Amino acid sequence: MSALRDLIQGEAELDDDEADESFDEETGEVRRQFNGVNGVNGHAQDSSEEEEDDEDEDAARAVREGFIVDEDEDDDDRRRRRHERKKRRREEREEEEAGLDEEDLDLIGEIVPSREPRASDQRKLKRLKRGHKEDLEKRLPKGIGDIFDSDDEDERSRPRGIEDEFADFIEEDFSDGDVDPDGLDETEVARPKSRKFFGGVEATADLDEAAIEDMREAFGTGDEYDWALALQDQDEEERGGSIEDPDGLLAKKEIELKDVFEPSELAEKLLTDDDNIIRQTDEPERFQIARKAFKHLTLTDQQIKDESIWISNLILPMKDLDRELREPFQKAVAKILEFLTVDEYEVPFIFQHRKDYLIHARTVELSPDPYNSNAPTTKTLADKLLNQSDLWDICDLDLKYRALVDKRNVLEATYNNLKETAGVQDNVIEEMLPSAISMEELQDVQDYLHFQHSARLADLTLVNGSQTNGSHRRPGASKLIFERVRQSKVYGLVRAFGISADAFAQNASKKEGRRQYTEDPAERPDDMADSDDILDPPDYPSGAQCLKAAKTMFAEEIFMSPKMRKVMRDLYYRDGVVDCMRTEKGLRKIDDQHPYYEFKYLRNQQLADLAHSPGRYLKMLKAEEEGLVEVKVRVPTMENFMSRLYSDIESDNYSDIAEAWNRERREALDLAVSKMHKIMVKGVKEHMKDACENKIGGYCREEYEKKLDQAPYKPKGMALGTIPRVLAMSNGMGIQGRDAICWAWIEEDGRVLENGKWVDLAVGLEENATDDSADVQALVALVQRRKPDVIAISGWAAETKNLYRQVSDIVQKRDLRGTVWEDEDGTDRSDPLDVVIVNDEVARLYRNSERATREHPGLAPLTRYCVALGKYLQDPMKEYASLGRDIISISFDPHQNYVPQDKILHKLETAIVDMVNICGVEINDAVSDPYTANLLPYICGLGPRKASQLLKVINLNGGSIMSRSDLVADPEAGRLGAVGPKVWSNCASFLYIDFDSAEPDSDYLDNTRVHPEDYDLGRKMAADALELDEEDIEAEQAENGPGAIVRKLIKDDAQEKVNDLILEEYAEQLEKNFNQRKRATLETIRAELQLPYEELRRSFALLSTNEIFTQLTGETSDSLCEGMVVPVVIKRVGDDFVEARLDCGINGMVPALAISNRPDVSAKQLFSVHQTVRAKITYLNRKVPTANLSLLEDQLRKPFRKDIDHMADEWDERQEQKDKESMQEKNDVSGRTQRVIKHPLFRPFNSIQAEEYLGSQARGDVVIRPSSKGPDHLAVTWKVSDNVYQHIDVLELDKSNQFSSGMTLKVGGKHNYSDLDELIVNHVKAMAKKVDEIMLHDKYQNGSRADTERWLTTYTEANPKRSNYAFCIDPKHPGYFHLCFKAGLNAKLQSWAVKVIPQAFELQKHQYPDMRALCNGFKLLFTNMQTGKRR
């Protein structure tokens, strides 16, 4: 045991968390620590004797079963058991097939030296089955988690049972922090090539021959899978005669990726069969994905024409166009649809190369100029009909229309089958189906079809073997009842109502046509119901039952009428209003500080008004989902509308019989309308929700466009688009002068050439004769050596503003200047070096990302953050593109969280696709630079699959291309095709190649935005600019190729001559002779001939004061403003002033007059340093940023209330006042005096109300409430997890009176705090942080204890020789977690309680500061306990 004890102690002394030095994860600093070693020696005893007995019994059973080997066990027993294992393994192998399974593939890398293992530092696909980890663990540094590992040299000095039982206890839990957990799976699959193998296994000198034989039996000799390699390398003919195949293995199919890897892994890496089809199909990738569901659908010519009208009618109301432009607008939409669906051009291509079809040109006459006879008499005006956003909307609407047509086709096929097989002729379907223009109307027709013809559809299903074109549904019980009525004599009473549902709907629609009149029968309804012609026993034996059934049937026919539903739907959309009604739960939970209070009493909201406030409506639906409000839709004019409907259904006769029948008709109508109200409300709410989500998505797109539409930061004197050299620095959340300031130097090509840390940037003062600090001198030297164009600064704390001021001061006082540039007079100039605060939203995501670790493994996270800041200045668009799907983490609109992520991602993708295609991509740069390659998936026609294929083929073709035509296959030249002709047409102009005048094959137009289809136009314009005749052109092209004319234009530096060309004449000839509208294209060619791929983005946008404030503090104008009462921590107290700091890091000053109403009392007598108090913000300076505060009691009593924007009749003030009085009465009648604590988190709740309130809040949120234990107690309830809440009893001491808070707050008898804010921060929030830590740990299982134990059991069954453990929450004891573990297949499941306490975890009465220490401590405790039992 001495060796084991020495190993445990040695590892504990070397543990990173308990050594004398610790590593700062943000800055990479090594900081000194003076904490002692918190190790565990000796034996840990469980408090429960019963558990000890169980463990002893389990250990004894493990010894009996051979799982644990006693120290005194002799070698004969060991050899006997080894022989039995060998025999058992041989029997298992004989039962297995000889095919290649996942474990075999794992071993190929070890057995076959020629097989290259995968590098462990790259992200690869995970194997379906994991390989063994013994080899991996031998190469890893030893830690506490490895104390159970097998080591033959220690067999004599420690119990063998511990080695066997715990050799692989923690499969992925390593104590050394240098091990990358993300790389473990790759390391498991890719065995190191440097291993020495003997017969396919690692040679071990310490093993005897029997052990080596065991290893050979387990791992083979290295030639078992030669056939698998042969399968991959040889074709069918070679395999036929050269490889022995006694078992017929070679006849099996070739191994594919899907045979080896999990489907989810293949989908993540875009390697499924569907992904390969997308790569190979010559169609834009985004089109293939979007139209996948409609591959079978082909639109007719009439449907295409109808589609253009349908889309135009949807978009036109949102456009502010004159009436005379409506017809051109519809033609433009039709042409765009042709480009999208027939030509299969993507939006960027249409916008760039078919721009003339988005504009309507018209000629207007001008008044003659009496002073100028040569003045033009006409003028051409261009009206922009569609913008780029409209084109994307047309794309989306095209998909919706296809879905509409697809469903209509299915219904038509079903109806045609009914007509052919059952002779059905239904005028309602034939009228309504072709005219349906929405999914709602089609659904109405489908509901009518299944209601009216359910029996025939059932027969059709039987005849056709359930083939009804996908439209048949199993009829519900209500449908069967109505079908029974329809087949009975009672249906005669339905006909006696005198008007059909369709005829009534025709009257209600008020369409042109003859009014349908209602006829009264000769008998009263009750008399007719009692007649033998109607009674139909046994189902309908009485007249009352018959009348009720008939009335219900007639109401259902009205309810199912597509025409009537259309009438009702038009009414609701036209006149409907929305009321928001609070529920009983909302009454208690939504107070005047709640974000939902803005609509708690909102009434009479027109649908159009809600459409203009989409965020508010989505919040209302979210509140309804949480059970806090009810969103109700009503029609104020419903009473008048119903009066009109009554007149449409009633007869005009005057008699008792007519009155009786009219009464029955009105009741049937009321029943039908009440049922329709439900589906109308649901439809309106869903339609409004979809419209509001699209609107929020549009807002996000617009905001993203602004962020993307930024050129690189332009150094002074440089052209727009020049890449700057950047020195980026940040102090993160650090304190100026105390914490490290990390910096990085980023060259213009993106390389990080230098980085480092500074702490003290204090400038020396001449008046005090003090020198600059060493860090200031280093900064000055760096700037003078590297000559940066700009210094970038950012961070996520208010202290960053101090760093900005400090660096700006250094630049000014030490006269640091930027790059020298030449002004218009040719004089060299240089300006003071720019210092800017940079938007860091991308940098925050980058610093801890896998990509950052992969690109800069040696840099600290804060330095990586600086690198991202610099790259953002160099090209914002590339930084956003590199985020991929993580772009959703950036906030573009405050309400985007109420919209499904897929919708937001789609809108954001359209924005970046537009901007990337405006800027273009240099294709050879993309091949060599992965950073640039991130832009390729957004190129027109491409996507992630086609982009990767493009790069792969270019590399196969030589690694670079000389012209755009090289992207297309050329069999004669032996060139593979990177893209097909159709995709090439889409992407060609957006992939450019730098022009090289020294290269004869280089074409200048390949470096422009000009599409290859327009190269002839460009060459023609160049020839006309050079005034060359046809003979000169032919001679020049014959000698130097097709691009010779443009090359000559560039060589002669005569590009400006193209400005003399009259492009209108070119355009007229093209339209007249070739029917091509190219006016805008000609302008593009002229611009590109002068300056190819000019930077069209706007200048880099510096952050505004409000944006900087939000970035550094996390507060917006809504979350922090003047008048709010906030908690502050006092930092300094004088006699007549108080300095404090807000939670967001802003410093605040309390002047003398705002401290107290008692001028005779000093501030030092009232307040102390580190005390947390409530203060009111009287002035907020967002630029500095600082705040002026007030501590006066009378001001603190006035609560802040946000102004709510609503009209006078849109807020139910009466209900609001009634609710306030009701809540006050509830407080007054309670059994004890209601305490009111002046704290923003205080609520007058009991425990149940507190849990309801916290139900929708985030984990760790808190409520302070009165305690039932008396006036000297408070209760603090906080949310541990979903449906798990901990109630903390707080004892108040040193109270001045029974209503005031205690000066000392005691929790659990051992935690003392001076006020509630300190208690929340240092007790509750500290525990919440620990809860987050354990729930984010790899060993945490989401689920109950039973689920976790089931998982452990499954794991040990799959890995009989391994053991494992996991954590799960204990919902019955809030603040506790279960540590469940199973030490092998036959071991008993055990569980220990882990208690969360402030700043630590408690296990077996031992405290551990973090999860790593907890896991290692658990291993030590368990090992020592098992060792003690074996003594």
DSSP assignment of 361-410 equals EEEEE----TT-TTS-SEEEEEEE---HHHHHHHHHHHHHHHHHHHHHHH
pLDDT at 109 over 60: no
Beta bridge partners of 30: 23
Residues 1223-1261 have pLDDT tens digits of: 776 655 544 455 667 787 888 788 888 888 888 788 889
Residue 1430 is predicted with a pLDDT of 61
Helix axes 656-708, 901-919, angle to 10 degrees: 40
Q: Are 942 and 935 in contact (CB under 8 A)?
A: no
Mean pLDDT (whole number) for 370-394: 85
> Residue 175 — very low, low, confident or very high, per pLDDT cuts 50/70/90?
very low
Residues 224-241 have pLDDT tens digits of: 555 555 555 654 444 444
Residues 1018-1043 have pLDDT tens digits of: 999 999 998 888 888 888 888 888 88
> Residue 479 — very low, low, confident or very high, per pLDDT cuts 50/70/90?
low
Helix, coil or strand: residue 1366: strand
Contacts of 619 (CB under 8 A, 6+ apart): 595, 596, 599, 895, 898
Q: Could you tell me the two tokens for 648?
A: 């449409």
Q: Are 11 and 149 in contact (CB under 8 A)?
A: no
Q: Are 191 and 109 in contact (CB under 8 A)?
A: yes
* C-alpha pair distances (Å), 1378 with each of 1370, 1375, 1402: 6, 10, 12
Q: Classify each residue of 322-339 as buried b or exposed e, where b means 16 or more C-beta atoms within 10 Å of its C-beta.
A: eeebeebbbebbbbbbeb
Contacts of 114 (CB under 8 A, 6+ apart): 229
> Residue 214 — very low, low, confident or very high, per pLDDT cuts 50/70/90?
low
Mean pLDDT (whole number) for 301-329: 91
Mean pLDDT (whole number) for 1362-1375: 92
* Model confidence, pTM: 0.74
Mean pLDDT (whole number) for 609-633: 93
Q: Are 694 and 583 in contact (CB under 8 A)?
A: no
Which range among 137-141, 561-565, 1304-1308 has the greatest average pLDDT? 561-565
Q: What is the rounded CA–CA span in Å between residue 668 and residue 551?
A: 6
Q: Are 193 and 187 in contact (CB under 8 A)?
A: no
Q: Which residue has the tokens 């314009």?
A: 1021
By mean pLDDT, which of 376-380, 382-386, 883-887, 1036-1040 is the weakest? Answer: 376-380
By mean pLDDT, which of 171-175, 1142-1146, 1185-1189, 1217-1221 is the weakest? Answer: 171-175
Q: How many helices (H) and strands (E) does the chain have?
A: 57, 33
Q: What is the rounded CA–CA span in Å between residue 606 and residue 95?
A: 73
Q: What mean pLDDT is reported for the chain?
A: 81
Q: What angle do CA 57, 59, 62 make, to 5 degrees?
A: 110
Nearest CA-CA partner of 842 in 1111, 1119, 1095: 1111
> Residue 304 — very low, low, confident or very high, per pLDDT cuts 50/70/90?
very high
Share of the chain above pLDDT 70, in %: 79
pLDDT at 208 over 90: no
Q: Could you tell me the two tokens for 1412?
A: 């790593």
SS3 letters across 471-484: CCCCCCHHHHHHHH
Q: What is the rounded CA–CA span in Å between residue 266 and residue 280?
A: 17
Q: Which residue has the tokens 């600093």?
A: 29
Q: What is the rounded CA–CA span in Å between residue 39 and residue 144?
A: 11
> Residue 768 — very low, low, confident or very high, per pLDDT cuts 50/70/90?
confident
Q: Are 1226 and 1260 in contact (CB under 8 A)?
A: no
Q: What DSSP assignment string belongs to 1243-1268?
A: ----HHHHHHHHTTSPTT-EEEEE-T
Q: Enter the DSSP assignment of 896.
A: G
By mean pLDDT, which of 914-918, 984-988, 1226-1230 is the weakest? Answer: 1226-1230
Q: Are 1422 and 40 in contact (CB under 8 A)?
A: no
Q: Are 278 and 945 in contact (CB under 8 A)?
A: yes
Name the amino acid, one letter, at 514: R
Q: Could you tell me the two tokens for 133?
A: 């980890």
By mean pLDDT, which of 171-175, 646-650, 719-723, 1236-1240 is the weakest? Answer: 171-175
Q: Which residue has the tokens 């080997």?
A: 69
Helix ranges (DSSP H) in 977-1060: 981-987, 1015-1025, 1030-1040, 1044-1051
> Residue 215 — very low, low, confident or very high, per pLDDT cuts 50/70/90?
low
pLDDT at 1115 over 80: yes
Q: Judging by beta carbons within 10 Å of its beta carbon (0-12, 13-18, 19+), is residue 770 exposed, middle or buried?
A: exposed
By mean pLDDT, which of 175-189, 550-564, 1325-1339 is the weakest? Answer: 175-189
Name the amino acid, one letter, at 576: G
Q: Are 1414 and 1402 in contact (CB under 8 A)?
A: no
More confident residue, 363 or 104: 363
Cis peptide before 788 (omega within 30 of 0): no
Q: What is the rounded CA–CA span in Å between residue 1260 and residue 963?
A: 59
Q: What DSSP assignment string belongs to 219-233?
A: H--S-TTHHHHHHHH
Residue 1112 C-beta-side C-alpha neighbours within 13 Å: 31
> Residue 1411 — very low, low, confident or very high, per pLDDT cuts 50/70/90?
very high
Residues 250-263 have pLDDT tens digits of: 445 567 777 778 88
Helix, coil or strand: residue 27: coil
Q: Are 989 and 1014 in contact (CB under 8 A)?
A: no
Contacts of 1260 (CB under 8 A, 6+ apart): 1278, 1279, 1324, 1325, 1328, 1329, 1331, 1332
Q: Are 1127 and 1240 in contact (CB under 8 A)?
A: yes
pLDDT at 745 over 90: yes
Helix axes 656-708, 562-575, angle to 10 degrees: 60
Give the DSSP H/E element, type plus range, for residue 877. Answer: helix 876-882
**Strands 834-837, 790-793: parallel, antiparallel or unpaired by DSSP?**
parallel
Mean pLDDT (whole number) for 1003-1010: 93
Q: What is the rounded CA–CA span in Å between residue 148 and residue 1427?
A: 12
Q: What is the rounded CA–CA span in Å between residue 374 and residue 353?
A: 35
- Span between the terminal Cα atoms of the chain, in Å: 10
Q: What is the rounded CA–CA span in Å between residue 688 and residue 1219?
A: 29
* C-alpha pair distances (Å), 693 with each of 628, 689, 698, 758, 900: 21, 6, 9, 47, 8
Which range among 71-85, 146-160, 1107-1121 has the greatest average pLDDT? 1107-1121
Q: What is the rounded CA–CA span in Å between residue 846 and residue 872?
A: 11
Residues 260-275 have pLDDT tens digits of: 788 888 888 888 999 9
pLDDT at 160 over 80: no
> What's the chain's Rg over C-alpha atoms?
40
Nearest CA-CA partner of 412 in 433, 428, 431, 426: 433
Mean pLDDT (whole number) for 1393-1421: 92
